[in-house]
């Protein structure tokens, strides 16, 4: 699902496709786009530290953007330099964290709260993951960070990550291709950006990659990483590498 950018607003291409299919007049299409632009959701995101005016390397922000893309909601990104936070940003969000979205004239922080609010306000298409499946794969991110930061090859952090990945691979074998079966859901949109960071950061700093034997996991990653919504909202490799450098060097 690609998006059209008009006056700084992103429109998932599926939003405009019905106009093209019906061959509606150009005047009507422009009116439709303008009306949608007026309702575009404002999202504060981390700015790239390597390329001007590009999305940065926050997996929690990507989770929110993926949700917007998968729900075909137009949105406008406001890039925030987190190393030099502007006054306008701190005024609306004193904690200075991203992502941040404006819903019903209120600024909301925290990707968990934001995605839940989006699901409630825009229930179609549904992305909610059943409660019993919502925590599948939830320990992968913390074990990845532990392994990335580790300076001791024998401390067990690498094995801990492999154990979590193997468990997730086995789950996908029995329940996949996605966490909730045949359809992508909120749990996938939360986990996939973290797996993307894991793949890049560990490949760069540890010369490590997911074992080929975990074929259900590798297929899962390839499938989601090639999805149009993911390609549109992913960070540059250079930003991911730079973003994790402080933790590696600490």
Q: Sketch out the chain's domains with CATH numbers.
A: 41-121 (3.40.30.10), 131-249 (1.20.1050.10)
Q: What is the pLDDT of residue 9?
A: 63
Catalytic residue chosen out of the listed positions 55, 58, 198, 210:
58
What region, left, alpha or beta, does residue 156 occupy, with left being phi > 0 and alpha being psi -120 to 50 degrees?
left
List the pLDDT tens digit at each of the 250 positions of the chain.
434 343 346 666 555 444 333 332 333 222 223 334 458 999 999 999 999 999 999 999 999 999 999 999 999 999 999 999 999 999 999 999 999 999 999 999 999 999 999 999 999 999 999 999 999 999 999 999 999 999 999 999 999 999 999 999 999 999 999 999 999 999 999 999 999 999 999 999 999 999 999 999 999 999 999 999 999 999 999 999 999 999 999 8
19 is catalytic: no
Can you give the C-alpha Rg of the chain in angstroms? 19
Q: What is the pLDDT of residue 142?
A: 98
Q: What is the pLDDT of residue 250?
A: 86
Helices (H), the chain: 13-22, 26-38, 59-70, 87-92, 111-121, 140-149, 157-175, 186-205, 215-225, 228-233, 237-249
In whole angstroms, what is the distance from residue 121 CA to residue 213 CA?
41
Q: Which two tokens stand for residue 43?
A: 């999202």
């Amino acid at each position: 699902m690609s998006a059209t950018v008009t006056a700084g607003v992103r429109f998932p291409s599926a939003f405009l496709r019905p106009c093209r299919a019906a061959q509606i007049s150009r005047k009507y299409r422009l009116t439709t786009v303008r009306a949608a632009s007026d309702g575009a959701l404002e999202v504060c995101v981390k700015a790239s530290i390597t390329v001007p005016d590009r999305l940065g390397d926050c997996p929690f922000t990507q989770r929110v953007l993926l949700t917007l893309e998968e729900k075909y909601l137009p949105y406008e990104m406001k890039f925030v330099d987190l190393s030099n936070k502007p006054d306008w940003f701190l005024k609306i969000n004193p904690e200075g964290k991203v992502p941040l979205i404006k819903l019903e004239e209120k600024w909301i922080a925290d990707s968990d709260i934001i995605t839940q609010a989006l699901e409630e306000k825009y229930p179609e298409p549904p992305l909610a993951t059943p409660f019993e499946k919502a925590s599948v794969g939830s320990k992968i991110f913390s074990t990845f960070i532990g392994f990335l930061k580790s300076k001791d090859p024998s401390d067990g952090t690498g094995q801990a990550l492999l154990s979590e990945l193997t468990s997730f691979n086995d789950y996908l074998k029995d329940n996949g291709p996605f966490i909730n079966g045949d359809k992508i859901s909120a749990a996938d949109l939360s986990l996939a950006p973290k797996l993307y960071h894991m793949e890049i950061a560990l490949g760069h700093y540890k010369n490590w990659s997911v074992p080929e034997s975990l074929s259900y996991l590798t297929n899962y990653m390839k499938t989601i990483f090639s999805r149009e919504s993911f390609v549109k909202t992913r960070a540059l490799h250079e930003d991911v590498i730079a973003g994790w450098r402080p933790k590696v060097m600490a």
